[in-house]
């Protein structure tokens, strides 16, 4: 199953997988979404809240703030508590949360929690715990999906409205240099198979389809874990599940 990295930075990666079946990649996608554990705020005690935001919404917002996670801490069952005490006027951000552990902090400091007007107060304590996406989506470590590799057949290159056809592409991978319609060099994999160009120009000009033997697997971390940690943890969980099935079926 050859895997080629099409693009990669700290948060996002795009892989091209050939000679595989989408069910294998779907198993990996599901393992990432539901099996990989991260930390998130789960229990909030509100001592004071005179803001216009209901307690429940406030607690829900806190739960959705991604927290830096260290998988090895799970075994220690260490409790991490965040405290927040603010008075308005102030826009309260994730960076205002004070953590009992300097390593477990919000991934992003600039997420707005609540806007306090003059004199409004907020005081709370929030406990974070480990969990996975099967319990609540707030524990999911990444946005992950796959799609088949695009195939673009330009049937008529020289058409009067080539520039208009190219302008229909939402990801800007088509060009119309000298009235000749083409796909920009090295940009084919960015096609999102929306068919906007085909619907506008007609199938007799441009035909969009996909190559089912090549699959693009994309993931974007929410920041709790690195991409490598997410993939490692997901594969470990799949191996563990396969072992369980093996043991049960061999009984
Ligand atoms: S299918 Fe959509 S993304 Fe792909 S080339 Fe056409 S307009 Fe662009």
CA of 119 to the centre of ligand 1 (A): 52
Query: Mean pLDDT, to the nearest integer, of 60-71?
Result: 95
Same domain, 31 and 82: no
State the average pLDDT for the chain. 94
What ligand 1 atom has the least distance to the C-alpha of 174?
Answer: 5
| pLDDT grade for 212, boundaries at 50, 70 and 90 | confident
Same domain, 31 and 100: no
Residue with the larger pLDDT of the pair 178 and 53: 53
Q: Do 189 and 16 meet the contact criterion of CB atoms below 8 Å apart?
A: yes
DSSP state of 106: B
Q: Is the CB of 167 under 6 A from ligand 1?
A: no
Same domain, 191 and 148: yes
CA of 188 to the centre of ligand 1 (A): 9
pLDDT surpassing 90 at residue 225: yes
Q: Is the CB of 174 under 6 A from ligand 1?
A: yes
pLDDT in tens, 213-223: 899 999 999 99
Q: Do 140 and 88 meet the contact criterion of CB atoms below 8 Å apart?
A: no
pTM, rounded to two decimals: 0.84
Beta bridge partners of 22: none
pLDDT for position 72: 81
**What is the domain range of residue 113?**
38-139
Of 143, 129, 132, which Cα lies nearest the Cα of 12? 143
Does residue 56 belong to any structural domain of this protein? yes
Of 221, 223, 222, 219, which Cα lies nearest the Cα of 6? 219
Three-state secondary-structure class, residue 233:
helix
pLDDT surpassing 90 at residue 157: no
Does residue 159 belong to any structural domain of this protein? yes
pLDDT surpassing 80 at residue 75: no
Does residue 249 belong to any structural domain of this protein? no
- Extract the tokens encoding 123: 């005081």
Last residue of a domain, one of 99, 116, 139: 139
Report the CATH number at residue 198.
Answer: 3.30.1360.10
Q: How many Cβ atoms are within 10 Å of 91's Cβ, its own excluded?
A: 13
Q: Is the CB of 197 under 6 A from ligand 1?
A: yes
Three-state secondary-structure class, residue 159:
coil
Does residue 112 belong to any structural domain of this protein? yes
Residue for token digits 């927040």?
84
Query: Mean pLDDT, to the nearest integer, of 225-232?
Result: 96
Does residue 45 belong to any structural domain of this protein? yes
**Residue 144: HSE in the Cβ half-sphere, 13 Å Cα cutoff:** 24
Does residue 153 belong to any structural domain of this protein? yes
Nearest-10 Cα torsion for 13, 19, 24, 29? 20
Same domain, 93 and 107: yes
Residue for token digits 């974070």?
128
Number of domains the chain is built from: 2
């Amino acid at each position: 199953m050859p895997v080629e990295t099409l693009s990669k930075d700290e948060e996002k990666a795009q892989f091209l997988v050939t000679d595989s079946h989408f069910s294998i990649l779907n198993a990996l996608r599901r393992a990432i979404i539901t099996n990989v554990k991260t930390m998130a705020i789960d229990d909030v005690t509100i001592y004071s809240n005179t803001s216009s935001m209901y307690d429940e919404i406030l607690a829900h917002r806190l739960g959705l703030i991604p927290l830096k996670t260290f998988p090895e801490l799970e075994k220690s069952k260490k409790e991490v508590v965040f405290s927040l005490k603010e008075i308005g006027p102030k826009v309260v951000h994730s960076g205002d949360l004070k953590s009992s552990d300097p390593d477990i902090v919000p991934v992003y400091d600039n997420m707005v929690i609540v806007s306090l007007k003059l004199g409004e107060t907020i005081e709370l304590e929030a406990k974070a715990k480990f969990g996975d996406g099967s319990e609540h989506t707030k524990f999911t470590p990444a946005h992950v999906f796959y799609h088949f590799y695009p195939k673009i057949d330009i049937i008529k290159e020289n058409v009067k409205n080539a520039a208009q056809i190219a302008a229909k592409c939402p990801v800007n991978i088509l060009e119309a240099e000298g009235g000749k319609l083409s796909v920009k060099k090295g940009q084919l994999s960015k096609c999102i198979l929306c068919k906007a160009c085909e619907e506008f120009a007609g199938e007799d000009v441009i035909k969009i389809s996909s190559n089912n033997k090549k699959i693009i697997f994309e993931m974007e971390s929410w920041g709790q874990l690195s991409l490598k940690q997410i993939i490692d943890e997901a594969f470990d969980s799949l191996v563990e599940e396969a072992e369980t099935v093996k043991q049960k079926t061999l009984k």
